[in-house]
């Protein structure tokens, strides 16, 4: 079991690391940004020509280049949306858990409202109104997910705030913000980190779904969801356009899920899930 | 118990009320529907626009429009679509059963698969089967549902030609959308079954049942599974919102004419009355399911009521 856990960790690091490095250096690997059109090789099959090892799309663009360049959008959305949600949610959770009463009630009732709405529907409504755009999408995601962090942090703070180390700090006259920052925040780090890992994975999936539906990123910018939407019309003749971007999503998200899972066991060895 | 019931119903009603308010407000943010309706219609005078607004009831103050919308939702009159003037209530009555059908069939398939798999993983905890199930469930959580849908279409619709690639016209049309959703759901549910089963199997009455010499199958499915049922129903009920979110996307892949397709068409044509109604009805549905699960749990487990 233990050896297996280690393998899980190594696989997670390898998958995530490879994808992140490829995407980070995509500018060096593919200076044309995946936009170069090889009109003599339209809809080339994968594995035939070394220049287009994963084939080309209907206007002769290299699928491998576009898959790697397209990863930028996914990682950007994943990282920024989760950072936003984490910062806001952690602060709200700390305040609600520590001061309790009024703020706590407001927070928990608001959380009920947000949990009743599937993200996809909210995103649809707001995209219809504000238009599809990278930053709009990041902001929607942060707004719809901060509640998760707030709940986790609130839960931990509730169990921590009456513990001896907090009480003794208080009895020394340590200020509230100092207690929150130096005594409580480090103790909620673990659960928040797990949530971050799993939510980056989840948001990459959400972004690709919305872009696939035409509600996310502008289709002109290469992105995994956008490529899959294009590939859908060519499924009869060119399967590779809709297979490889999906595999890229899977590799990235699986890597993150493996890491998140490992982290959960690492931080809480008694958990059985 | 009555107090608990009243409190939960009031909470649920509050949530739905806030959702309707948010949606109505968001729709109002979006600009003047009269202008959007007349786009590309040639010469439009201010008087024409005013007439359209009066016709749609948009000249009334926000509070009156909102109350009108609420009243309409309660009596089933949800206004008319901007496109073609079809009754929104009628559109919803066609789409909602199809969405619920898809959700229920996928959920049933997923439960049928995850219970035996989860129990097997729990019994052989740490063994090869457990690890394989664990890894498969992680993989299942790692791709977008629409992509799985596309891959099923590619394999079974195009290459093998066994199933129609889309539509709700024939009975076989439901196979691929339901399978797509069920596979993704099973990835989560298998883990739930496994962990609740592990909790249950460590209880003393299981040891007693075993020591009586009962068969493994009887111990697992008669004694243990029944006691897993309560937490499982709760978890699965809580996932209902996520399930509806998934259905909305998968409907689009397979052109399944449910609420997701309706919402999607409404978004692309800026048909706000339809979008507003779809979001409200789905939110109300999710809140109702969560409420039902909570109340059922409260009935079955007295410890929850007092919380």
Query: In this predicted model, what pLDDT tens digit does every residue of A180-205 receive, in sequence order?
Result: 888 888 888 888 888 899 899 999 99
pLDDT tens column, B249-285 = 999 888 889 999 998 888 877 787 888 889 889 988 9
Q: Enumerate residues 78 to 107 of chain B having a beta carbon within 8 A of any beta carbon in chain A.
A: none
- Residue at B12 is within a domain: no
pLDDT tens column, A43-83 = 778 877 777 878 888 888 888 889 999 999 999 999 999 99
Q: How far apart are CA B293 and CA B237, in angstroms?
A: 6
- Residue at A35 is within a domain: no
User: What domain count does chain B have?
Assistant: 1
Tens digit of pLDDT at every position of chain A (273 positions): 566 778 888 999 999 999 999 999 988 888 887 787 777 777 778 877 777 878 888 888 888 889 999 999 999 999 999 999 999 999 988 888 888 778 888 887 787 778 767 778 788 777 777 777 888 889 888 988 888 898 888 888 888 888 888 888 888 888 888 888 888 888 888 888 888 998 999 999 999 998 998 888 888 888 999 999 988 888 888 889 889 999 999 999 999 999 988 888 888 765 544
User: In terms of residue numbers, what domain contains A141?
Assistant: 2-30+49-271
- Residue at A138 is within a domain: yes
- Residue at B102 is within a domain: yes
- Residue at B20 is within a domain: no
Q: Enumerate residues 105 to 164 of chain A having a beta carbon within 8 A of any beta carbon in chain B.
A: 109, 112-113, 115-122, 124-129
Burial A236-246 (b: 16+ CB within 10 A, else e): eebbbbbbbbb
Q: CATH number of the domain that A181 lies in?
A: 1.10.3720.10
Q: CATH number of the domain that B190 lies in?
A: 1.10.3720.10
| A143/chain B closest Cα distance in angstroms | 14
- Residue at B192 is within a domain: yes
* Residue of chain A whose alpha carbon sits nearest to that of B192: A273
Which residues on A lie below 8 Å from B252 (Cβ)?
213
Secondary structure in 3-state letters for chain B: CHHHHHHHHHHHHHHHHHHHHHHHHHHHHCCCHHHHHCCCCCCCCHHHHHHHHHHHCCCCCHHHHHHHHHHHHHHCCCCECCCCCCEHHHHHHHHHHHHHHHHHHHHHHHHHHHHHHHHHHHHCCCCHHHHHHHHHHHHHCCCCHHHHHHHHHHHHHHHCCCCCCCCCCCHHHHHHHHHHHHHHHHHHHHHHHHHHHHHHHCCHHHHHHHHCCCCHHHHHHHHHHHHHHHHHHHHHHHCHHHHHHHHHHHHHHCCCCCHHHHHHHHHHCCCHHHHHHHHHHHHHHHHHHHHHHHHHHHHHCHHHHCC
ipTM, interface predicted TM-score of the complex: 0.85
Q: Any alpha helices (H) in chain A, and if so which ranges?
A: 2-24, 26-29, 63-99, 101-115, 119-130, 134-160, 164-171, 176-178, 185-212, 224-232, 239-267
- Residue at A260 is within a domain: yes
- Residue at A263 is within a domain: yes
User: What domain count does chain A have?
Assistant: 1
- Residue at B25 is within a domain: no
Q: Is any Cβ of chain A less than 8 angstroms from the Cβ of B194?
A: yes
Q: Enumerate residues 212 to 241 of chain A having a beta carbon within 8 A of any beta carbon in chain B.
A: 212-215, 225, 228, 231-232, 235-236, 239
- Residue at B302 is within a domain: yes
User: In terms of residue numbers, what domain contains B223?
Assistant: 88-306
The answer to whether B245 contacts A118, with C-beta atoms less than 8 Å apart, is yes
- Residue at B93 is within a domain: yes
- Residue at B127 is within a domain: yes
Contact B143, B137 (CB under 8 A): no
């Amino acid at each position: 079991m233990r050896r297996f856990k280690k393998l899980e960790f190594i696989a997670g690091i390898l998958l995530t690391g490879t994808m992140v490095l490829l995407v980070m250096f995509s500018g060096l690997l593919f200076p044309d940004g995946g936009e170069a059109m090889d009109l003599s090789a339209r809809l080339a099959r994968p594995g035939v020509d070394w220049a287009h090892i994963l084939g080309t799309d209907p206007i002769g663009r290299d699928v491998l280049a576009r898959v790697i360049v397209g990863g930028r959008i996914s990682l950007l959305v994943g990282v920024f949306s989760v950072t936003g949600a984490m910062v806001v949610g952690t602060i709200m959770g700390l305040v609600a858990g520590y001061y309790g009463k009024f703020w706590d009630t407001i927070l928990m009732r608001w959380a009920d409202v947000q949990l009743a709405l599937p993200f996809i529907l909210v995103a649809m409504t707001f995209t219809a109104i504000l238009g599809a755009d990278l930053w709009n999408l990041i902001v929607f995601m942060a707004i719809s997910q901060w509640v998760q962090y707030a709940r986790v942090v609130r839960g931990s703070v509730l169990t921590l705030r009456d513990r001896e180390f907090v009480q003794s700090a208080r009895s020394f006259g340590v200020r509230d913000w100092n207690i929150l920052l130096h005594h409580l925040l480090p103790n909620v780090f673990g659960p928040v980190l797990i949530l971050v890992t799993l939510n980056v994975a989840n948001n990459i999936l959400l972004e690709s779904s919305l872009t696939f539906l035409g509600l996310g990123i502008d289709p002109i910018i290469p992105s995994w969801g956008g490529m899959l939407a294009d590939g859908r019309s060519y499924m009869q003749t060119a399967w590779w356009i809709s297979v490889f971007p999906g595999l890229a999503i899977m590799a990235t998200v699986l890597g993150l899920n493996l890491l998140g899972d490992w982290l959960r066991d690492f931080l809480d060895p008694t958990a059985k899930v | 118990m009555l107090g608990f019931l009243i409190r939960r119903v009031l909470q649920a009603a509050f949530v739905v009320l806030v959702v309707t308010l948010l949606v109505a407000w968001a729709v109002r943010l979006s600009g003047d529907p009269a202008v959007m309706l007349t786009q590309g219609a040639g010469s439009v005078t201010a008087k024409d626009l005013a007439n359209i607004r009066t016709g749609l009831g948009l000249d009334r103050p926000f509070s009156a429009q909102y109350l009108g919308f609420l009243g309409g939702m309660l009596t089933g009159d949800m206004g008319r679509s901007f496109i073609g003037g079809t009754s929104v209530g009628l559109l919803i009555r066609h789409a909602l059963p199809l969405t619920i059908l898809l959700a229920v069939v996928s959920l049933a398939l997923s439960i049928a698969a995850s219970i035996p798999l989860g129990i097997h993983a729990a019994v052989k905890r740490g063994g090869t089967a457990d690890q394989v199930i664990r890894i498969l469930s992680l993989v299942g959580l790692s791709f977008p549902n629409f992509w799985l849908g596309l891959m099923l279409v590619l394999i079974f619709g195009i290459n093998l030609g066994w199933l129609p690639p889309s539509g709700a016209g024939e009975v076989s049309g439901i196979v691929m959308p339901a399978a797509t959703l069920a596979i993704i759901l099973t990835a989560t549910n298998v883990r739930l079954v496994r962990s609740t089963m592990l909790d249950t199997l460590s209880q003393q009455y299981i040891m007693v049942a075993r020591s009586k010499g009962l068969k493994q199958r009887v111990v697992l499915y008669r004694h243990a599974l029944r006691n897993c049922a309560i937490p499982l129903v709760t978890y699965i009920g809580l996932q209902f919102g996520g399930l509806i979110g998934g259905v909305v996307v998968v409907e689009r892949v397979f052109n399944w004419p449910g609420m997701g397709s309706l919402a999607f068409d409404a978004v692309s044509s800026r048909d706000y009355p339809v979008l507003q109604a779809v979001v409200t009805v789905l939110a109300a549905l999710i809140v109702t399911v969560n409420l039902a699960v909570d109340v059922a749990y409260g009935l079955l487990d007295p410890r929850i009521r007092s919380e």
